[in-house]
């Protein structure tokens, strides 16, 4: 991670096809395309790789979440359960539809705690949205059981976990809907892009229409298409899809490199008894994009994070103090800072997060260090990195 590290001739070839045709839009202009439909090709390839019936490309992972929620009818006043540790796009997509984000504690998987999820369910809950942060997954069996029990939708945010699996199934394919991000720092990238996958025909039909101003995409005359409902513009371009088409074909290559590099680093850190690695649910396999581990205390985690940087180990994150990924610094959410009026349903239903007790999440995040696994490292660089990581952490424990 990320895929841009290994850009090459395959990506250039796909992009050149688009440049030669001059058609950068995914819809229409049939006669000018020279047979190139990169978005359609990527959707078919992605659906096949993820073992789902349908895939629809959009402009970003945030757009994917928004479109997925909208396609399932989520709107004003509906509550969506999400974790305290995620990217801000999770609650942005919920709020964009007038729905209400309900933050819930994580556990040692660094994802949704099923016990906390059940306590948060109300009559207005419509969706449980686990976020497979840093390449690994939530306890999907437990969450699926809760969704079945309470008649809720399970939406997998797999934006950081493409290629991971749970009991043999690709992450993103297990819930009612799954979402991916293909931005510039993901395992495979389109530059900018995202996707929604599902086995539900209705959700798919809603998704491709909603993401393109409500166009029904029936026939070959775009100007004659009808609009069965309101939609917005979340389209991907052919240029972005072309890059993604080449990158998806290389996914197994990238995953293998990530696993090799991850394994070297993990084996090195395993010699430090004070380190405990993130829990992966039984039957799950990470995509190895991050190595995540816990230090004994918050103070030691902070010291270790600083020592890693001082020893030349870049790409290690202490999410506990991160503006984008942990609830503690989401003042714009907790204070509902908005350029326009916030929907009344959101104002009325939003919990007072200034008084919320997320100490169970703090217990894990305060001690967590996550280290990015790069694709471009040489074998020697990985070994040197492992030595420097061990040296840095041993200096503080």
Give me the active site residues, please. Answer: 186
Do the beta carbons of residue 38 and residue 14 sit within 8 Å? yes
Closest CA to 61 of 112, 132, 149: 132
Closest CA to 61 of 85, 89, 42, 94: 89
Do the beta carbons of residue 273 and residue 293 sit within 8 Å? no
Rounded alpha-carbon distances, angstroms, from residue 182 to 16, 63, 209: 20, 11, 21
Q: Is 21 exposed, middle or buried, given 0-12, 13-18 or 19+ CB atoms closer than 10 A?
A: middle
3-state secondary structure at position 235: coil
209 Cβ contact partners less than 8 Å away, ≥ 6 residues apart: 215, 216, 217, 227, 228, 229, 231
CA distance 252 to 257: 9
156 Cβ contact partners less than 8 Å away, ≥ 6 residues apart: 129, 130, 132, 140, 171, 172, 173, 174, 175, 177, 178, 179
**Phi, psi (degrees; rounded to nearest 5) at 155:** -115, 115
User: Sheet harboring 165-166: ordered strands across?
Assistant: 169-170, 165-166, 284-285
Q: What is the 3-state secondary structure (H, E, C) of 170-206?
A: ECCCCCCEEEEECECCCCCCCECCEEEEECCHHHHHH
CA distance 60 to 5: 20
DSSP state letters, 44-66:
HHHHHHTT-SEEEEES-HHHHHH
């Amino acid at each position: 991670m990320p895929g841009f590290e290994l850009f090459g001739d395959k990506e250039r070839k796909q992009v050149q096809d688009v440049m030669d045709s001059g058609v950068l839009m995914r819809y229409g202009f049939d006669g000018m395309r020279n047979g190139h439909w990169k978005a359609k090709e990527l959707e078919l390839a992605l659906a096949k790789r993820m073992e789902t019936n349908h895939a629809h490309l959009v402009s970003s992972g945030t757009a994917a979440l928004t479109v997925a929620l909208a396609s399932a009818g989520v709107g004003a006043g509906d509550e969506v359960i999400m974790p305290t540790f995620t990217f801000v796009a999770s609650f942005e997509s919920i709020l964009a539809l007038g729905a209400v984000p309900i933050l819930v504690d994580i556990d040692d998987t660094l994802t949704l705690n099923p016990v906390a999820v059940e306590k948060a369910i109300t009559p207005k809950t419509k969706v449980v949205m686990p976020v497979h942060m840093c390449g690994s997954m939530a306890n999907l069996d437990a969450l699926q059981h809760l969704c079945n029990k309470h008649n809720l939708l399970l939406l997998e945010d797999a934006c950081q976990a493409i290629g991971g699996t749970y009991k043999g199934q690709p992450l993103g394919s297990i819930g009612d809907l799954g979402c991916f991000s293909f931005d510039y720092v993901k395992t495979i990238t389109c530059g900018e892009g995202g996707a929604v996958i599902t086995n539900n025909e209705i959700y798919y039909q809603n998704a491709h229409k909603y993401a393109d101003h409500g166009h029904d995409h029936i026939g070959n005359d775009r100007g004659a298409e009808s609009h069965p409902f309101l939609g917005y513009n979340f389209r991907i371009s052919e240029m972005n899809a072309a890059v993604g088409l080449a990158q998806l074909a290389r996914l197994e290559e990238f995953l293998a490199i990530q696993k090799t590099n991850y394994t070297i680093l993990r084996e090195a850190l395993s010699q430090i008894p004070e380190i405990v690695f993130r829990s992966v649910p039984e039957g799950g396999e990470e995509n190895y994009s991050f190595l995540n581990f816990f230090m004994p205390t918050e103070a030691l985690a902070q010291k270790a994070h600083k020592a890693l940087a001082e020893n030349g180990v870049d790409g290690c994150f202490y999410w506990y103090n991160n503006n984008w990924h942990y609830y503690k610094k989401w003042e714009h959410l907790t204070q509902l800072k908005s350029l326009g009026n916030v929907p009344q349903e959101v104002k009325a239903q939003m919990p007072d997060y200034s008084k919320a007790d997320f100490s169970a999440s703090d217990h894990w995040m305060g001690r967590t260090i996550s280290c990015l696994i790069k694709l471009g490292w040489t074998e020697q660089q990985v070994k040197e990195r492992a030595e420097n990581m061990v040296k840095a952490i041993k200096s503080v424990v």
